[in-house]
Amino acid sequence: MTDIPTAKPVADTDRLLAYVADLELEVDRLRRQSRFLERQATKSLAHILSLCTGRDLGVPHPTLGEVEATARGLVEVVQDLHDPPGYHPAHDQVVAIAVRPVAEQVFRWQQRLTGARRVELRLELEQDHVEWFPARFRHILGNLVADALRHRDPAADLGWVAVGLRATPKGYELRVSDNGVGPPSGVDRRVLDLFHRPASRLGGLAAGLAVVRLLVEQSGGTMTPTPRAGRGTDYLVTLPRYDLLDYLD
């Protein structure tokens, strides 16, 4: 008797979608970093060459300090490209994550990619670390910060993005808030649709918040966007607690 194939459980499909989402975000992140690094390296090297060849007559030659400052700027970019061991989507194991350096690195990169220089990071951390999945945590935080910077208020003297974290009896609450303009009217719910791909001015996949929601929910958490009173958006993400070295089944 021939066995009749049976449909796989929905849970298997969810796990596959989550893994594909992880890979999509990782490819998008690496592609943006590569493009930015190429532009930054070209700009920095061109500036160093111009300093070495001198300037117009009557203009003093540059000092070594100018060359050093340009080189240090490029070094900082390269250093921020370094990922700690285990921050890859294939490494789906719970480790202790120091939240402050991760948040600062994510914010610096998103500032570079969006050109949002007049925005400051405010860390409101009641908890210094989380025991969670490192690559997934960074993807969630990075995309929420990127969304806040994309919707910054260009007319504001100084924008801000706040990242908060606190422990709960069942896990953690991650909150990302901003004082920007928020998404356009009627778009705020569509951005959570997995297959919604808005046009991106930043050259990325615009995977964004829909994939973040999938990763959060597949991990057993929730993500709730709320317009702030006045301006901006408040994203509250609940992350369930796992034991160290746990894997997602």
pLDDT digits (tens, 9 = 90+) for 163-207: 999 999 999 999 999 998 876 655 444 444 544 444 444 333 345
Any domain includes 151: yes
Which of the pair, 40 or 217, is modelled with greater confidence?
217
**236 — pLDDT class (breaks 50, 70, 90):** very high
* Residue 70 resides in a domain: no
State the burial class of residue 56 (Cβ atoms within 10 Å of its Cβ: 0-12, 13-18, 19+): exposed
Confidence check: pLDDT of 76 > 90: no
Q: State pLDDT tens for residues 109-161.
A: 888 888 888 899 999 999 999 999 988 898 899 999 998 998 888 888 889 99
Per the domain annotation, does 135 fall within a domain?
yes
**Angstrom distances, CA of residue 92 to CA of 52, 86, 87, 134, 168:** 48, 8, 9, 8, 22
Average model confidence (pLDDT) across the chain: 77
Count of C-beta atoms within a 10 Å radius of residue 36:
16
* Predicted local confidence at residue 40, as pLDDT: 80
Indicate the angle between helix axes 134-150 and 99-114, nearest 10 degrees: 40
Domains identified in the chain, total number: 1
Q: Residue 226 pairs with which residues in a beta bridge?
A: 234
Identify the pLDDT of residue 230.
67
Q: Is the pLDDT of residue 37 over 70?
A: yes
86 occurs within a structural domain: yes
Domain region containing 27: 11-38+81-240
The residue with greater pLDDT, 98 or 49, is 98
**pLDDT computed for residue 109 by the predictor:** 87
pTM exceeding the 0.85 threshold for the entire prediction: no
Q: Write the CATH number for 130.
A: 3.30.565.10
The pLDDT of residue 176 is 96
